[in-house]
Chains A and B, each alone.
Chain A
């Protein structure tokens, strides 16, 4: 089976400082990978390098494209990479405001990706937008409201709808539940889990919240100081951490 995404020897430095170093892994279709670690451990650097937002210094990111098979996205031309970013890839930002157009209505936000790939029928676009708002549990009568009138949890759900509307195969998520209160987090996680299973999505989720990876991820990587210190099945790593840092991370979670 061809991995959907395969990362080889990825390195990114900021001057003399290491962002991330020597990261390699494979992600198979339908698999959800969690990347955990403390602040500054290089999780977001790694995610941004994979998603093409940052240019890594070394390594390759092979993506299994629909028409040409595995292609190194770092050596793709920019139009191709941006096209990928609108169709097969999705990126969910930690802060919904970074991923939404705040001055455009919810329907317009969801429809943007459709129009970006050539949809030119208003009725169809609106129909799809309404369908997706329903799937992320946003009432249909809010379709013409701007995201600035939405609560934080709704904004995050809207961002997810906007990203998934073109049926991507790979979703990058940067702390999707950060900044939300626990009950809203729980609903969002429930929703995400449902969507991931239902659409057969592959996802890479960066988070410092172990509960999130426990619920969503099949496999996790633990990062520290820019390097992967431990990787494996989620339950295996969380229940029986081997590396000293993983043990620290697991034992740091407050038990209520």
Chain B
């Protein structure tokens, strides 16, 4: 097992190298000159000199300061070297380190991701099990119909409707901001409920598959109550593939946080990224993209490992 874990992390190294190369190239592929952007579009949005012109000398100085005068592979090398040490660059706008912006805001995104993920698993597994054990009935059909609606719903629109009804209409929850449990409820529902539809569909199909297995027949033949059969023998095996989808969902949640945090004006990684895009603050965008992609890769490795740990049939390394 430990060999498998080590191997899994080693395999991620080339992927992460590729990811950082793409993210590095992103800044160079932009149709704008970062030096000019830095000199003319900084903070106040005005030109640095009264005449509104920049001298060649200023341009060269800034270029040197940003390290853009060096050859591309040297630039990538130092980009990588700094990133490994946790230096993800500095904002053009606030001059703050991107890493510290992440540190200041990650807890908001983490609590949102945790809350919506828990919600999606709770609702998804319960509905999926109900649909599966009532297979072929109107209850099954009804749950599946609702879940198709769920996967088809733009989550940001669902968020807007929640604000409309529960904040503006009923006044139960604040329509914006973060801090406290009440501010977390609506965004967590907006992300968690559409995600739960995917979990419900997968739980159902996986449990239906498991229910056909011989050991389920054996369990019933032993005279166990149906509840015990489903919970102990069925669900335990049916939930293994669900673990994978939960890992993939995490990526969707990270992406979704871009939109949901914007809808709810809620601080977090997504909100910072979107604002950085609007402000043409490209180093911040670059640092955020690199951080989120790395996080996603690490989470997926952890999901793979837990998958191998949960399901003894899966052992990719042959030994252990």
Report if A and B associate in a common complex: no
* Residue positions of B touching A, CB distance < 8 A: none
* Residue positions of A touching B, CB distance < 8 A: none
